[in-house]
Amino acid sequence: MFLQPFQISRKSLVADIVAGDYRTAEVFRKYGIGYCCGGKWPMEIACEMQDINPVMLQAELELAVRTNQVSNHVDFAECDTEFILDYIINVHHRYLKKSLNTTQEMLADFANEHVKKFTYLNELEIQFDSLVQKLRDAVQQEEEVLFPYIRHLAHAKKHKEPYAALLIKTLRKPVEGSMSNGHETVSEIIMSIRKLTDSYTPPEKVCISHKVVLAKLNELDNDLMQHLYLEQSVLFPRAMAIEKELLNV
């Protein structure tokens, strides 16, 4: 169903476009165009019915299905600390701020209509809502407290600032707490969601909306895995090593 190269035609059925790439669902949803059971209209007819410019819509759809990928040759362990901080904020945090609301709304709408048939949706909503709150809190904490602290650490080490040890003692080394508490909770919720959805595998003969919701959850999972890896395995250990070095100095 997903991420196979295909040409978006205005004569294609809306449902077929979404079946070709789940990322187009968000665009149709934005314009109030049904893509599931009501998506049996060609895109150009759906645009006419909603008084939408089909050229504009096609351009947005094509933008939505573009593939962006970080080269496997990027060794984050060799990257500057400032670069890693900026990368997490501008790539992973920005993704979360955009996708969490959309995915939460999609899941809520779908669950409201299909929970009688798929009872697991109740627990899935509970788990996902909990994940959303944890991630929002984590992003805020990182951007307002933790990342500025790590920037100060990196700057202090680079310029051999004399106040570095006092900074660490005053803030009580917040990196270790974030590493042991926040990430563990997020990982546990992700594992629960994977179990509930059979690793995001759609049941047989389900509607497109069902597949889209699972694909969005899978997309979020994949992004989180790289996000958590960068923090857990690269950024935070480096920050803790700098803390130790500066305290010893």
Which pLDDT tens digit goes with each residue over 162-206?
A: 666 666 665 566 676 666 666 788 999 999 999 999 999 998 888
Do residues 162 and 142 share a domain? yes
Q: How does pLDDT run across 131-146, given as a tens digit for each residue? A: 999 999 999 999 998 9
Do residues 145 and 171 share a domain? yes
Do residues 60 and 112 share a domain? no
pLDDT at residue 238 tops 50: yes
Whole-angstrom Cα Rg for the chain? 22
Nearest Cα to Cα of residue 110 among 210, 200, 29: 210
8 Å CB contact between 151 and 85: yes
Three-state DSSP state, 213:
helix
Please give the residue range of the domain that contains residue 57. Answer: 14-64
Q: CA angle at residue 89 from 86 to 95, to 5 degrees?
A: 140
Nearest Cα to Cα of residue 217 among 123, 93, 100, 69: 100
Q: How does pLDDT run across 48-89, given as a tens digit for each residue? A: 998 999 999 999 999 888 876 665 667 888 999 999 999 999
The model's pTM is 0.84
pLDDT at residue 1 tops 60: no
Do residues 119 and 160 share a domain? yes
8 Å CB contact between 119 and 126: no
Do residues 22 and 84 share a domain? no
Q: How does pLDDT run across 49-58, given as a tens digit for each residue? A: 989 999 999 9
Q: Which residue has 């609301």 as its token pair? A: 101
8 Å CB contact between 166 and 210: no
Do residues 52 and 80 share a domain? no
Number of domains in the chain: 2
- Of 5, 38, 64, the one marking the end of a domain is 64
Of all residues in the chain, the percent with pLDDT exceeding 90 is: 54
pLDDT at residue 154 tops 50: yes
Q: Which of 104-113, 139-148, 155-164, 230-239 has the lowest mean pLDDT?
A: 155-164
pLDDT of residue 4: 57
